[in-house]
Chains A and B, each alone.
Chain A
Amino acid sequence: MLLLSITDLIARFHPVLVHLPIGILLLACLFQWLTIKNRYLFLQPVIPAILFWGMIGAVASCISGYLLSQSGEYDAQLVTRHQWLGILVAAFSFILYVLYKLSLNESWARWLSVILVILVTVTGHLGGTLTHGEGYLTSVLNRDEKKQTAFKPIPDIEEAAVYADIVQPVLEAKCYSCHSAVKQKGKLRLDSPESMMKGGESGKVLIPGKADESELVKRIFLPLGDEDHMPPKAKPQLTENEVLLLHWWVSTGAGFDKKVKELTRTEKIKPVLLSLQSGEGSEKAATDVPGTPVDEGDLTVINKLRQAGVMIIPVAQNSHYLSANFVTAGSVSDSVLQWLVSLKKQLIWLKLDNTSLSDSSMNYVAACMALTRLQLSHTPITDKGLVKLQSLMQLRSLNVVGTKVTIKGILALQKLAGLKSLYVYQTGVNSSDWDELRRALPAAQIDTGKYTVPALPTDTAVIRF
């Protein structure tokens, strides 16, 4: 037992030990090339000694590395390659050392040392890939791209396969980098049903039907600072919806071939599942921001708008979607509004309340196809302008409070299936129109306002004392 733990200890020294041969051998090669210059000739005698110790270091790394590979936590194919290259480095440094001792042709030795440098570099890189995961080196180049779950668009959520269409994409985005073929941290693989059921070092991770006892779910709920929290603090975390989806899948039995319609759905999971249907599952459902990224808007246009007093900013840092507010823009002229059209892909929230927006200018608004929130309260627009908005298929919230629009104009918006809220307080919409409105826009919350707070005698009564 003690022997076993000692080998374990040695194995863990591998990541430390490997730096010795890397440094020492590279130094030997450097000295070799320096001796071309006469003034460095004095280095010549130490080169064999350096090579010797580099070789010893390489052999020690090989041994500790072999012991570490026995833990089986790493991608077998990568390990084999790394192992043989490592052995090659040790062998090569030995050959070089012997050749030096026999004081062979110098230019020969120099070219051999170039090969050694290449060998050391490649082996080292493979070793790095083993510990940090594939693509670690290049990830700094595109650091801004947040790792997001790529749900395939699901046309019909009822028929979707729970594991293949919903659970697996989440695991792939957030777990596979450490628990799949490449790496098996804690001896756990999550990339196949069998290996998921098998569990890892500390036992089973999945107890079908009992989400709160399954490590897979439990660890996600641990506080971020907890050592056992998954994914580790520095890695991309699961979004709220993803957590809910995983929890729901495990608590309904963690079946690998079930369809959504076969499982019982709680009130909490229903909206999450619905949001998947439109393919924006990992976004928070109610933020009115599309899940797909967009190119950056034309900065010169944005700056022109800002100069005109329009508050236009991205809806979030690292997002190119824009929100524009005309609150201090004063009057809106067509020349300003037409600039919006060149931002039609990016502009999703537009606030034009209390402006002089006319029906004819609504053409520019209607051209901004990506709009999800549009506020037009207290503007002179009428039905003529409103009907133009039929083209805004992404619209989720529309505010026409205090305008002259009537039921006629609103009915023209029937096609906007995504419309969730509609504010028609102080418009030409009458209470007699209510039934018709409801039928036309069954999915929307329609607010006709006119709320009153009745006067009670106690409101103004003051108890004297």
Chain B
Amino acid sequence: MTQKELNDQRLLREAQDAVRHMHTRRHFLRESAMGLGALAIGSLLGGCGRRQENVMSSIAFDPAHPLLPKSPPFAGKARSVIYLHMAGAPSQLEMFDYKPELMKMDGQDCPGSLLEGKQFAFIRGVPKMLGPQAKFAQYGESRAWVSEHLPHFSTVVDEVSFLKAVTTDQFNHAPAQLLLHTGSARLGRPSMGSWVTYGLGTENQNLPGFVVLTSGGSFPDAGKSVWGSGFLPSVYQGVQCRSEGDPVLFIGDPKGMNRDIRKASIEAINKANQQEYEEYNDPEILSRISQYEMAYRMQIAAPEVMNINDEPAYIHEMYGTRPGKSCFANNILLARKLVEKGVRYVQLFDWGWDAHGDGPYNALNVGMINKYRSIDKAITALLLDLKQRGLLEETLVVWGGEFGRTPMMENRNGQQNPYKGRDHHTAAFTLWMAGGGIRRGFTYGETDEIGYYPVSGKVEAFDMQATILNQLGFDHEQFTYPFQGRPFRLTDVSGKVIHDIIA
């Protein structure tokens, strides 16, 4: 008897035992009692959610092939998304939102009018104002303001559309990150990447459709929920890949197991699952079968695409990668490779942008300078590399944090912080988008003289989400999923496509 036959038989025997169990008297009596109860409840709550099935938008969910590509409602300009999230919230006032007036107020007490009725994460009492901790200049044909901290990025400003007046209503990291990526500050909603892979599938069936890469030494504060699938089928959650060691944990076959045995065991498992499916007709089983098959193919495809070492030296120089280490630049290069291979949504998180100034590591003039340097070259290289490969026209790149930073210097618990830092600021911050049909070299929205409140072009997270979905070919108001008796959508009940930044 070969190994394969042995495997087959063992699993099948277990499956058969399970079936036999279904025929026992004890099982029958218990299930009938419970079943009747459930039936009664079902009819008591009758109709809950039943009607939604007809409305379940036009997206057909095929449980046997959950990730096959699907057509969007209208032809979108973007095929994939790379979202670069600076977890901790970088300071717009040191990067893009130039406020010379704020310089004049540097060191003065904050006017009471800015503090009235306001609640901050750490600022207490009356803080001092803090001028921009950088020199600014205008670049490109679009004359966009960029600080001296981003010498490389300033050369590509004509590729991007800045959103200068983004607002949020969450002043803590985790809820603000959730709001940005799932449309709700509370846990439980699917993330944007899950929505997108649910709606569009993915073009490469050997790789996950939604990949998450993290750097900066820590996870985003919102944890894995920020790439979770919420109430969408679980195949749509983000797959976190690592940029050093195995890209996905346990992707290699263990010692003593060769590819043939792996294949035989997966076939055996799928056979048992197939039997199970024929018995119960539960579509989740079909998803499970297809996931096993994908995992098997991924064992070959993922290490190949996740290996940046086979990229030529000049590409490594361009991105400023550090092969063998785990860093943002490596992840950026990976993002390009993944998008090139047809991955739908690549989500990057870079931790460590929380510039409070309570220590040197998060001071605007010490630790943050290292952070700017760690992303500047890589992001610039990403935009240029996508562009020269003809991928920028079909790849939407988004950059930003979960909120902004105050024009005031942080005084934690009323005490001046030892280093220069700013507190969390919800009313106005900067995001930018590029590629995927977004207007080139444009700035939308404006803040007041000190960057405190939006003056024009105010947008919310929902508007950004609506715009991303629009570029992919969805009307965010029609893109729904039935759950708990009502259709849910990413943008909940808000969101307006920002037409001004669409080319």
Contact = CB atoms under 8 A, between A and B. Distances in A.
Interface of A: 240, 286-289, 311, 313-319, 321, 325, 327-328, 353, 375, 377, 397, 399, 401, 421, 423, 425, 447-453, 455-456, 458-463, 465
B230 interface: no
A397 B390 CA distance: 9
Interface string B359-387: 01100001101100100110011001101
B390 to A, nearest CB: 4
B3 interface: no
B325 to A, nearest CB: 13
Given A325-B342, A327-B203, A425 B389 contact: yes
B388 A289 contact: no
Contacts of A321: 75
Interface stretch (B66-74, B184-192, B450-458): B66-74
Contacts of A288: 75
Interface string B318-342: 1110000000000000000000111
Interface of B: 58, 68-77, 151-152, 203-206, 314, 317-320, 340-342, 360-361, 366-367, 369-370, 373, 376-377, 380-381, 384-385, 387-390, 393, 437, 473, 499, 503
Contacts of A240: 499
A19 to B, nearest CB: 27
Contacts of B360: 465
B373 A461 contact: yes
Contacts, number: 112
A425 B75 contact: no
A121 B472 CA distance: 48
Contacts of B206: 328
A313 B151 contact: no
Contacts of A460: 320, 373
A414 to B, nearest CB: 20
A459 B366 contact: no
Contacts of A451: 318, 384-385, 387-388
A317 B203 contact: no
A240 B204 CA distance: 33
Contacts of B58: 317
Contacts of B318: 451-453
How would you classify the secondary structure of chain B's contact residues: helix, strand, loop or mixed? Answer: loop
A460 B366 CA distance: 15
7 contacts: A286-B437, A287-B75, A311-B68, A328-B204, A453-B320, A456-B151, A465-B367
Contacts of B341: 327
Given A423-B388, A423-B389, A425-B388, A313 B70 contact: yes
B401 to A, nearest CB: 21
Given A453-B380, A453-B384, A328 B390 contact: no
Contact of A289 (B75, B203, B342, B381): B75
Contacts of A289: 75
Contacts of B388: 401, 423, 425, 447-451
B113 to A, nearest CB: 32
Nearest to B361: A465
Nearest to B383: A451
A399 B393 CA distance: 11
A436 B372 CA distance: 41
A315 B71 contact: yes
A291 to B, nearest CB: 11
B366 A463 contact: yes
B71 A313 contact: yes
Contact of A401 (B320, B389, B499): B389
Contact of B152 (A287, A456, A463): A456
Contacts of A458: 151, 373
Contacts of A328: 203-206, 342
Contacts of B361: 465
B256 to A, nearest CB: 30
A317 B389 contact: no
Contact of A421 (B151, B380, B390): B390
Contact of B387 (A327, A447, A462, A463): A447
A314 B73 CA distance: 10
Given A377-B390, A449-B389, A453-B152, A316 B73 contact: yes
Given A447-B387, A465-B366, 4 more contacts: A315-B71, A325-B342, A421-B390, A423-B389
Given A287-B75, A316-B473, A452-B318, A401 B366 contact: no
Nearest to B205: A328
A414 B33 CA distance: 78
B370 A462 contact: yes
Contacts of A317: 58, 71-74
A465 B377 CA distance: 23
A313 B385 contact: no
A421 B393 contact: yes
A447 B342 CA distance: 22
Contacts of B317: 455
Considering the complex of A and B, which 9 residue pairs feature the smallest CB-CB distances, nearest first?
A449-B388, A465-B360, A423-B390, A451-B384, A399-B390, A425-B388, A327-B342, A316-B75, A315-B75
A397 B79 CA distance: 15
A108 B429 CA distance: 84
A287 B389 CA distance: 19
B233 to A, nearest CB: 20
A249 B12 CA distance: 73
Contacts of A453: 152, 318-320, 377, 380-381, 384
Contacts of A375: 390
A459 B72 contact: no
A287 B69 contact: no
Contacts of A459: 320, 373, 376-377
B385 A377 contact: no
Nearest to A348: B75
Nearest to B381: A453
Nearest to B318: A453
Contact of A311 (B74, B203, B369, B499): B203
A458 B393 CA distance: 31
Contacts of B72: 316-317
Contacts of A353: 340
A377 B319 CA distance: 21
Contacts of B73: 316-318
A423 B373 CA distance: 30
Nearest to B394: A373
A89 B465 CA distance: 58
Contacts of A325: 69, 203, 342
